[in-house]
Chain A
Amino acid sequence: MKYLRNALLTVIGLYLITLGLVYVDVYDSRPIISLFKNIQSDSALEIVDFSTDKKDISGKPRPKPNKDRNPYYGDLHVHTKYSFDAYVFGVTASPDDAYRYAKGEGVKHPLGYEMKLREPLDFYAVTDHGFYMGMIQAYADTTTDISQNEFAEPFHNLNRLDNLTVESAGERSNIFSSVLGATIIQPYPDWHPKLLKAYLTRNTQSALESFDYDIHKSAWADVARSANEHNDPGHFTTFIGYEFTTSTDIEGGNLHRNVIFNSSKASIRPWTRIDSTNPEDLWTWQDRLREKGIDTIAMPHNSNGSNGQMFEMETFTGNAFTDEYAKKRMRNEPLVEITQVKGTSDTHPLLSPDDEWADFEIMDVRVGSRPPTYSKPSGSYVREAYLNGLTLEFTRQGNPYKFGLIGSSDTHVVAASLDESNFWSKVGLLDGDPENRGSVPLKEENVERLDEYMRAFNQPISTVNLEQGEYANTGFTQWGASGLAAAWAEENTRESIFNAFRRKETFATTGTRIAVRFFGGYDLSSIDLDSESLVSEAYQKGVTMGSDLLHDEKKNPEFLVWAQRDKNGAPLQRIQIIKGWIDNNSGRPKEKVFDVACSDGLQPDPVTNRCPDNGARVNIEDCSISVNVGSSELKTVWKDPEFVPADKTFYYVRVLENPTCRWSTWDAIKAGYKPREGLHETIQERAWSSPIWYIPKQSDVDVIPLGGTIRLRNTN
C-alpha cells in the first residue's frame, strides 16, 4: 500500500516537473522543447536528385546565347491527374502529356476532343497541388491498400471510361467540396506509432489516416522525373514545381502560390498546407533549401479571389510588417501571376476609377467559395499592392510588394487554353462545353441536370433566364482564355530563364504573344530608335523591367518602350505606361495611366494623355476585325511630364491590342446564337511588363507613425 502510494506520488511528481520544464517559456524559446527538436529530422529538407542523366537529349544543335536576350513564352501553372481536384474533374492525363502538349503535340480533353497549341511554347512547368498530391488517384484505383478505407469509397473508379460524362458533374463537384473540407483529414489515434513517426520526421501528413506517404512521394517523383526528361536545353525548358494551396482560416482568403525549382534536384516531398498554412513558413523552408544549394521561387496567384488577403497590410498572424519580413518575402517570391483563366488581377474599377481599361476580365468571387462569395477588391489587386508597398516603405516597414509580373493558365486539363476562338476553360468535365460554361442557352434536358449539379456545388441559383433562353449560372462566364509568362533570357535553358525570373525581367500576357522591351535611364533619348544597336545601347545606358532606377541629382528619367504584335493575333492599338507614386508631402498613394505610343501614326493628346480612336472595330456577327488598322510594332522614348524627384515612384507598361471577340462571343456565334447579354462581347488582349522602381534620394525627414508598433529606422 505504501509502495503503491510512493510510486503514485513519484509519477505525479515527475509529471509535474516535466510539465514545468517543458513549459519554461521565455518569449518563444522553450529550451527543453528545443532539446527534443534535436532528435527530429526534417523530411521536407531531404534533397533528391531526380535527374535522368541525359544532357542535350534531342541531339539538336544548341543555338548560341544572345546577350541582348530573347523573349521566351511559357506557362508556370499547369495541373495534371496528380492534383486532387483535376482527378475529380475527370482528368487522367499525366505530366508527360502536359509537356508533349507544350511542345506542340495534341492531347485529349476529358470530353474527348483534341487540344493543340497554334504555336509551341518555350517553357512549361507542371505544378500540381502539393496537398494530397497523387492521393485521389490512389483512392480511385481499387488495387491500392489505401483505397480499401471507407473514406476512399466515393472515389472508386471515378474516371472509368463510362463515367467520363458531363452527367457525372454533380457527383464530381460534391466530392470536390468534401476533399478540402475536413471530412477525410482524420489523424491516427494518439497512441499510434505513426503519430510518433510524424513528429520525429516533422511530417504531419504521415499522421493522417487518409494519407499514404509512399504514394505521395511516388507521385512527386513522377512529376520531377517527367520535368527532367522533357527538359531540352536550348530548345525547351521545364521546371520541377508544385502548388502550395493555402488560404486564410476564416474567410477562405486565397493564398495559393506556385513553387518552382531551379535544378534537377528537389526536396523529397513538397512543403504543403498540411505542414503549415502560413506562407511565412513556406519561405522559411525555401530559405533552408537555398542554404542547401537549391533555389526556388514562389509565385502567388489569384489575388483577385483572396478577399484582400494576398496583399494585406499585416502578416498572416496579424503582426506589423517589418523590413525583415519584406526582404524574406521578396527573396522567396519575386514574381506574381497577374492573369490566368480565373480572371486578371491588374486592377479593379473601384480601385482605379480613372483607368478606362480597369474593367477587364474581373473575377469577383473568392477562389473555391461555396456558395460563391464576394471577394473585396482592396488587397486583391497588383497595382494597389505596388502602391501599398510604397506606403509601407514610407513608414519604414520595408516593401514586401516589389514583385515582377507573369501570367499563366492554371489549366487543370494539362493543356493551357490560350485562344479566345478555341476555348476549353479549366476544370475538365465541369466546363468543357459551351452550355456548361454559360455562353450558350441550355437545352431543356440539361436544365434539370444542371440543377442537380449546382445543388452539389452549393450554388443557390443554378440557371438564369435571359433573352435567348435558360443559361447556366455557373460563374464560369467570369473565366477566360489567359495567360502566358514571358522571360527575357539569353537562351532557352533552365538556368537562363530562372535567372530572368530572379531579375524580374519578365512580362505577362493574356495568352497572346505580344513582346515588349522596357528600359529606364537618364540618357535614353540619345539612342537612335532606328538603329540596329538600339537594344544593346539601352542595356548599357539604362535599367530594364524589374529593376530599380536610382535618382541622379534631380534629373527627369526617360523610358524606352518597344512592343511587337503577335503575328497570329490582332495588331497593336497603343502602349501605356502606368505610373504609381507616393506624394512625398502628404504620404498619399496616387496612380495615373499615360498613353505613350499610338497606332497608325496617331499622337497621344497632351492634356488627356490618350490616343485618338484608331477606328478598329469587331463585327460581332462573325468576329471579323477591321483590316489595315493597328500597328505591327510601336516604339518610343517617353519622359514623365509630372515627375517629382522626391517621390517614390514605379512605372510599368501595358500594351493593348485592337479589340477582338471574347471566347463567350465565339462560343455563341459558333452555336448560332447572339452573345449572352451582360458579358463583354469583345476584349483587348494585352501584356504587362514588370515595373521599374524609381528610388529617390533618401529624405531627411523620419516618418514616425502613431501606434508605436513599427520598428523605426536607426538614424544614428
Chain B
Amino acid sequence: MKYKISIFFIIGLILYLIDIGLNYNDEKEIFISDQEIISLVSAWKSQVGRNPNDDEITRIINNLVEEEILYREALKLGLDREDRIIKRRLAQKISFLKQESIPNAPSNDDLIEYFKKNSDKYFIDSTYTFRHYFFSSENNSKERSAKAYTDLLNEVSINSDPFFLGKNFVDATIRKIENEFGKDFSLNFLNVELNKWIGPLESAFGHHIIYVTNQREGYLPDITDVIKQVEVDFLQSKRDEAIENYLNEIRSEYKIYINPDLQI
C-alpha cells in the first residue's frame, strides 16, 4: 500500500518539476510574431496614410514589447485570478502607473539640477520689433512691392495695403511670426539687419517690406523667475521616469526575439 502511494507522489513530483522547468523557460521569452507587427504597422498606415519610417517602426515594436512585459508581469501577479492579496500587490504596481508614488515637494537641488539639464526648455526666445508695408496678393503684390521698395529707398511715398493683423509688431517671437505670416516668411528674421528696409518678402498673404527696429537676443532666465514652471515640469518628468524605471528594471530579465528578416 505505502509503495503505491509513493509512486503517485514521485510521478507527481516529476511532473511538477518538468512543469516548472518548462514554464521557467517560457516565462522570460517574448516572441513577437510577424503577424502582430504587420497588423500594427497596417493600423498605423491606415491612420497616417503612409508607411512608417524606421524610427517609427522601432517605436511601434518597442511599445509592443513594453506592453507585453507589463501584461506578463500582471499575469504573474495573478490579475486573472480573483484574490484579495494579489489585488493589493497589483494595486501597488498600478499605483505608480497612476503616478501616485511621486514626492510632493522636490528639493531645491533637484530643481536646480533639472533646470540645468533642461535649460533649452526655459530659454526665452529672441524677439523682434518691426513694422511692415503689406501688398496683398489680391492686388498684384509682386510688382507693386518691388516698385515700392525702390520708391522707399528714394524716399518717395508709397501705396501699400492694410494687413489683417496690423502694421506694427512688438516683441514677436519667431514662432509668433510663423503663426501669423507663415514659416517661410519667419525664416527671414533669423539673421535680420536692423533699421533698414528689407524686402520684398513673400508670405501666405502677399508681399511685405519690413523694417526691424529692435531685436532682443534670447536668454536663459534666472531659475527663480521660472521656478514654478520648473517644479511642474520636474514632477511631470518624475512621473514619466517612474514608469520608465520600472520597465528598465524588469526589461533586462527578458530575452526578446524578433524575426530579423521580416520585410514590411
Does A58 interact with chain B (Cβ within 8 Å)?
yes
Does B156 interact with chain A (Cβ within 8 Å)?
no
Contact B204 A632 (CB under 8 A): yes
**1/0 contact string of B62-73 vs chain A (CB within 8 Å):** 010001001100
**1/0 contact string of A626-643 vs chain B (CB within 8 Å):** 000001111000000000
Q: Which residues of B contact A440 (CB under 8 A)?
A: 46
A481 to B63, CA, bound (A): 28
Stretch with Cβ within 8 A of A (4 or more), from B20-28, B161-169, B250-258: B161-169
**1/0 contact string of A318-349 vs chain B (CB within 8 Å):** 00000000000000000000000000000000
**1/0 contact string of B129-169 vs chain A (CB within 8 Å):** 00000001110000000000000000000010110111100
Does A5 interact with chain B (Cβ within 8 Å)?
no
Does A32 interact with chain B (Cβ within 8 Å)?
no
**1/0 contact string of A658-690 vs chain B (CB within 8 Å):** 000000001100110000000000000000000
Does B90 interact with chain A (Cβ within 8 Å)?
yes
A96 to B102, CA, bound (A): 16
Does B116 interact with chain A (Cβ within 8 Å)?
no
7 example contacts (A-B, Cβ-Cβ < 8 A) are as follows A58-B226, A61-B216, A64-B170, A143-B94, A433-B47, A531-B162, A632-B204
Does B206 interact with chain A (Cβ within 8 Å)?
yes
Does B196 interact with chain A (Cβ within 8 Å)?
no
Q: How far is the CB of A320 from chain B (nearest CB, A)?
A: 45
Does A211 interact with chain B (Cβ within 8 Å)?
no
Contact A162 B228 (CB under 8 A): no
Does A54 interact with chain B (Cβ within 8 Å)?
yes
Query: Top 7 A-B pairs ranked by shortest CB distance?
Result: A567-B204, A670-B49, A54-B228, A143-B91, A564-B164, A59-B226, A59-B225
A428 to B55, CA, bound (A): 25
**1/0 contact string of A532-548 vs chain B (CB within 8 Å):** 10110000000000000
- Looking at chain A's contact residues, the main secondary structure is loop
Contact B182 A59 (CB under 8 A): no
Does A68 interact with chain B (Cβ within 8 Å)?
yes
Contact B67 A162 (CB under 8 A): yes
Q: Which residues of B contact A113 (CB under 8 A)?
A: 44, 47-48
Does B119 interact with chain A (Cβ within 8 Å)?
no
Q: How far is the CB of A670 from chain B (nearest CB, A)?
A: 3
Q: Which residues of A contact B70 (CB under 8 A)?
A: 161
A51-98 residues with Cβ-Cβ distance < 8 A to B are 52-54, 57-61, 63-64, 66, 68, 70-71, 96
A63-B170, A143-B95, A433-B47 known; A567+B182 contact, CB < 8 A:
yes
Contact B205 A564 (CB under 8 A): yes
Does A515 interact with chain B (Cβ within 8 Å)?
yes
Contact B228 A57 (CB under 8 A): yes
Contact B205 A633 (CB under 8 A): yes
Size of the A side of the interface (Cβ < 8 Å), in residues, is 58
**1/0 contact string of B34-77 vs chain A (CB within 8 Å):** 00000010011111111000000000100100010011001000
Pick from B98, B159, B166, B172: contact of A141, CB under 8 Å: B98
Does B201 interact with chain A (Cβ within 8 Å)?
no
Q: How far is the CB of B220 from chain A (nearest CB, A)?
A: 10
A637 to B98, CA, bound (A): 57
**1/0 contact string of A545-580 vs chain B (CB within 8 Å):** 000000000000000001011011000000000000
Does B232 interact with chain A (Cβ within 8 Å)?
yes
A583-601 residues with Cβ-Cβ distance < 8 A to B are 601
A58-B229, A59-B221, A631-B138 known; A142+B91 contact, CB < 8 A:
yes
Contact A632 B90 (CB under 8 A): no
A419-441 residues with Cβ-Cβ distance < 8 A to B are 421-422, 424, 432-435, 440
Does A111 interact with chain B (Cβ within 8 Å)?
yes
A96 to B232, CA, bound (A): 10
A530-B162, A631-B138 known; A59+B46 contact, CB < 8 A:
no
Contact B229 A424 (CB under 8 A): no
Does A370 interact with chain B (Cβ within 8 Å)?
no
Pick from B79, B164, B167: contact of A633, CB under 8 Å: B164
Chain A residues near B (Cβ < 8 Å): 52-54, 57-61, 63-64, 66, 68, 70-71, 96, 111-113, 119-120, 141-143, 157, 160-162, 229, 421-422, 424, 432-435, 440, 515, 517, 529-532, 534-535, 562, 564-565, 567-568, 601, 631-634, 666-667, 670-671
Chain B residues near A (Cβ < 8 Å): 40, 43-50, 60, 63, 67, 70-71, 74, 79, 87-88, 90-91, 94-95, 98, 122, 124-125, 127, 136-138, 159, 161-162, 164-167, 170-172, 179, 181-182, 203-206, 216, 221, 225-226, 228-229, 232, 236
Pick from B44, B71, B87, B236: contact of A142, CB under 8 Å: B87
Chain A residue with the shortest CB-CB distance to B236: A96
Q: Which residues of A contact B71 (CB under 8 A)?
A: 160-162
Q: How far is the CB of A350 from chain B (nearest CB, A)?
A: 35
- Looking at chain B's contact residues, the main secondary structure is helix
Contact A111 B43 (CB under 8 A): yes
Contact B205 A666 (CB under 8 A): no
Contact B205 A59 (CB under 8 A): no
Contact A112 B79 (CB under 8 A): no
Chain B residue with the shortest CB-CB distance to A515: B164
Most buried by B among A60, A440, A535: A60
A59-B124, A633-B205 known; A142+B47 contact, CB < 8 A:
no
A161 to B87, CA, bound (A): 17
Q: How far is the CB of B115 from chain A (nearest CB, A)?
A: 12
Chain B residue with the shortest CB-CB distance to A424: B47
Q: Which residues of A contact B91 (CB under 8 A)?
A: 141-143
Contact A671 B124 (CB under 8 A): no
Q: How far is the CB of B179 from chain A (nearest CB, A)?
A: 6
A142 to B164, CA, bound (A): 55
Q: Which residues of B contact A64 (CB under 8 A)?
A: 170-171
A113 to B63, CA, bound (A): 11
Q: Which residues of B contact A632 (CB under 8 A)?
A: 136-138, 204-206
Contact B46 A141 (CB under 8 A): no
A593 to B165, CA, bound (A): 28
Chain A residue with the shortest CB-CB distance to B98: A141
Q: Which residues of B contact A162 (CB under 8 A)?
A: 67, 71, 74
Pick from B179, B204, B225: contact of A565, CB under 8 Å: B204
Q: How far is the CB of B212 from chain A (nearest CB, A)?
A: 16
Contact A59 B122 (CB under 8 A): yes
A96 to B237, CA, bound (A): 13
A113 to B127, CA, bound (A): 34
Q: Which residues of B contact A142 (CB under 8 A)?
A: 87, 90-91, 94
Chain B residue with the shortest CB-CB distance to A666: B49
Contact A633 B138 (CB under 8 A): yes
Contact A433 B43 (CB under 8 A): yes
Contact A66 B48 (CB under 8 A): no
Contact B49 A52 (CB under 8 A): no
Chain B residue with the shortest CB-CB distance to A440: B46
Q: Which residues of A contact B221 (CB under 8 A)?
A: 59
Q: How far is the CB of A569 from chain B (nearest CB, A)?
A: 10
